[in-house]
Structure 1
């Protein structure tokens, strides 16, 4: 079900993930909530890809502030498998806002710094800084 509020189109609304298109900023905003496994994360990455195709934009704001994931290989998987697909769909900038509960923040930061050949990806600790970075890129 798609709903529009102001300049935001809500594309996917579930208790686990909300995906919307922010027309003012021209990006997909993904807000993760709760505990996720590798399997659930993979299901929702397909939803994010569908949103990117539908809206034909170049940027993703990925908010994980209320997110729990025990899948330690997630950053490496994202760079090797998911980011190339996002790039093919036209994504050039990806801002990843880490959960304060996420113990692998330094791992994400280091992996993204050294291994993002397909698109610009940065890790942030707050949504405001991530949004500012996306607006500059």
Structure 2
């Protein structure tokens, strides 16, 4: 399943994909994000996570322009507990090094307490981290 969210100008700002093989949600952000688009996007991929009964998210913000620091408080206070209730346990975020989005991601990572989150500068490292978490999680389920 692939879902694309568009802004008021008809441009895609978020693509959400279910990765059934790895059992995680992939979300790819692009362009500039407003508070409204951040909230809409996070709520959409949390709903996808819950519907799929997955526990991990792979978030790619490398094509995102600017900071999303304006939404950090809402993410930590409102969204993070909601995502944890929906089953989120592991959250890997890929950022463009030395970008405004990286600074926002680092702030989020340092403060989130509801699930394990980690920031990466390349996609493969993020995927490997999630795969190790999934293998550990599956071994504990038996």
Q: Corresponding residue for 2:136?
A: none
Q: Write the distance in 2 (CA, Å) between the matches of 1:81 and 1:67.
A: 22
**Is 1:79–2:70 an aligned residue pair?**
no
How many residue pairs align between the two structures?
127
For normalisation by structure 2, the TM-score amounts to 0.79
Q: Where in structure 2 are the equivalents of 1:1-137 lying within 5 Å?
A: 9-10=1-2, 12-14=3-5, 15-100=12-97, 102-103=99-100, 105-106=102-103, 108-113=105-110, 115-137=111-133
Q: Which runs of 4+ in 1 moved over 3 A?
A: 73-77
TM-score when normalising by structure 1: 0.81
What is the alpha-carbon distance in structure 2 between the residues aligned to residue 34 and residue 101 of structure 1?
Answer: 17
Question: Which residue of structure 2 aligns with residue 5 of structure 1?
Answer: none
